[in-house]
Amino acid sequence: MGKSLTTALVVVAIILAALFFLIRKPSIAEVDPVPPSSFNAEQIVRGEIVAGIGNCATCHTTDEDKPYAGGRDFSTGFGTLYSTNITPHPRHGIGRWSRDAFVRAMRKGVARNGNYLYPAFPYTHYKNLSDEDLDALYAYLMSREPAAYTPPENAMRFPFNLRFLQWGWQLLFFDEEPLQPNPQQSDTWNRGAYLAEGAGHCTACHSPRNAFGAEQKGRAYAGALIDNWYAPALNAQQPVPIHWDTESLYSYLRDGQADYQGVAVGSMGEVVHKGLRQAPDEDIRALAIYLVSLGGPQDTNAASEQARQIMDAAQQRSNSARSHGEHLYITACAGCHFNAAGAPLALRAELSLNSAVTASDPTNLLRVLLQGVPANEGTPGIVMPDFAVLKDEDIASLVDFLRQRADLPPWQGVEKRLKALRQQLGDNNKSRQGGNQ
């Protein structure tokens, strides 16, 4: 028995070794660091816009004094990944990467040294970028300040730490063909599709994934939990009473607020206030036009009347014998969130319309209650304090009332989710120090 097992293990080892050498990609030779003067100013500015729409700095920065130096941790179902240093440092970053090596990583998911990249780096979307945008992004990154910082090593569980197995993942889930324009749509719509499905990689957060971490193409924009936030559906199953229209989504993507849907906080706050602020208005509007089309036709003329009816009903939906949750709402929330009958104000986010309350998942509402909203998120300059001091049962009562006020059934397992979030958020605050994708 022992000899048979040893033989079997040797055979498996030989097969794995053969596979490793068969599927490994060749390395691309290092080059001398490219001086920033090699690129023209217009190209660098264009690259900054591409990097902004891609939100590159957020994922590749942990120390604001060392932008793009990497080290941000990403917890996955397979272990923890750390973002890489993409500054032009010749030893710690990508300073010796040629343009061809950079393009291969962006379009093929293969690093300069031939290692497969994990799809947490969204090369599955960056494959859609044009040559001009990739050249501009390369110029921009190679013009940044080099950072002498090496992020921590990834902590992936076996066998997911074997990068060559990503060959199989790509074989199953990666289509190298780039996005093609839709001739039946306008130039603006196609521009929005290019931005959303390319640099913006919107479905990377807003689509559920399968057991192997691949996006479920048949459920694009159906919503998903990611990084302890809920990225809501943007398709016809949008979890808001009043669906997005072009103007409301433009306002949200440009300024971080929309009267009828809510404000951009957490991960989306970073996208809006750090990333998309680099984009010109015409690109923001193109994104809005494309994304709104995913939800089907909208009657924009009826939105204000619909909002008024929902608000009126919410204000009348209180019990003669007030619940504990309603008392908490009156004392802790209504002072800022109460809206008189008529049009709601984004500055006083109407909770009966807000996606944090109306979504199928309580995560966003619970996180905002635990962490608040700082001045640099949501509506710029407006602060919401946190209510983490409240007991879990108090927050659960408040959340139940907010759902009831919006004429929605209570979420199940709120206190259990609260306990998990308190633990996870505490752990994340300790580990936001710096990896490899």
Same-domain status, 119 and 202: no
Same-domain status, 161 and 38: yes
Same-domain status, 34 and 168: yes
Same-domain status, 148 and 264: no
39-43, 119-123, 382-386: which range is least confident on average? 382-386
Residue 152 in domain: yes
> Do residues 36 and 142 touch, judged by C-beta distance below 8 A?
yes
Of 269, 299, 329, which one is at a domain's C-terminal end?
Answer: 299
Same-domain status, 192 and 161: no
Going from the C-alpha of 385 to that of each of 189, 332, 339, 369, 389, the distances in angstroms are 39, 10, 19, 8, 11
261-275, 281-295, 375-389: range with highest mean pLDDT: 281-295
Mean pLDDT score of the chain: 88
Confidence at residue 119, expressed as pLDDT on a 0 to 100 scale:
95
Confidence at residue 300, expressed as pLDDT on a 0 to 100 scale:
60
Confidence at residue 301, expressed as pLDDT on a 0 to 100 scale:
62
Find the helix or strand (DSSP H, E) in which 255 lies: helix 246-255
Residue 276 in domain: yes
Same-domain status, 92 and 131: yes
Q: CA 387 to CA 45: how far, in whole Å?
A: 42
Residue 305 is part of which domain span? 301-432
Residue 321 in domain: yes
Q: Of 301, 292, 52, 50, give the one whose Cα is nearest residue 189.
A: 292
Same-domain status, 284 and 309: no
Of 299, 321, 345, which one is at a domain's C-terminal end?
Answer: 299
21-30, 115-124, 223-232: which range is least confident on average? 21-30
Going from the C-alpha of 263 to that of each of 7, 171, 267, 349, the distances in angstroms are 61, 39, 12, 8
Same-domain status, 164 and 268: no
Residue 115 in domain: yes
Same-domain status, 35 and 168: yes
Rounded to two decimals, what is the model's pTM?
A: 0.87
174, burial (CB in 10 Å: exposed 0-12, middle 13-18, buried 19+): middle
Residue 2 in domain: no
Confidence at residue 242, expressed as pLDDT on a 0 to 100 scale:
85
Same-domain status, 378 and 270: no
Residue 41 in domain: yes
CATH code for the domain of 404: 1.10.760.10
Residue 178 in domain: no
Same-domain status, 263 and 397: no
Confidence at residue 314, expressed as pLDDT on a 0 to 100 scale:
65
The pLDDT of residue 367 is above 50:
yes
Same-domain status, 31 and 148: yes
Domain count, the chain: 3
- Tens of pLDDT, residues 300-336: 666 666 666 666 666 666 655 578 988 898 888 887 8
- Tens of pLDDT, residues 163-187: 989 999 999 999 999 999 999 999 9
What residues contact residue 23 under an 8 Å CB cut-off, 6+ apart? Answer: 164, 167
Structure tokens belonging to residue 35: 């001086």
Of 173, 203, 218, which one is at a domain's C-terminal end?
Answer: 173
Residue 131 in domain: yes
- Tens of pLDDT, residues 50-102: 999 999 999 999 999 999 999 999 999 899 999 999 999 999 999 999 999 99
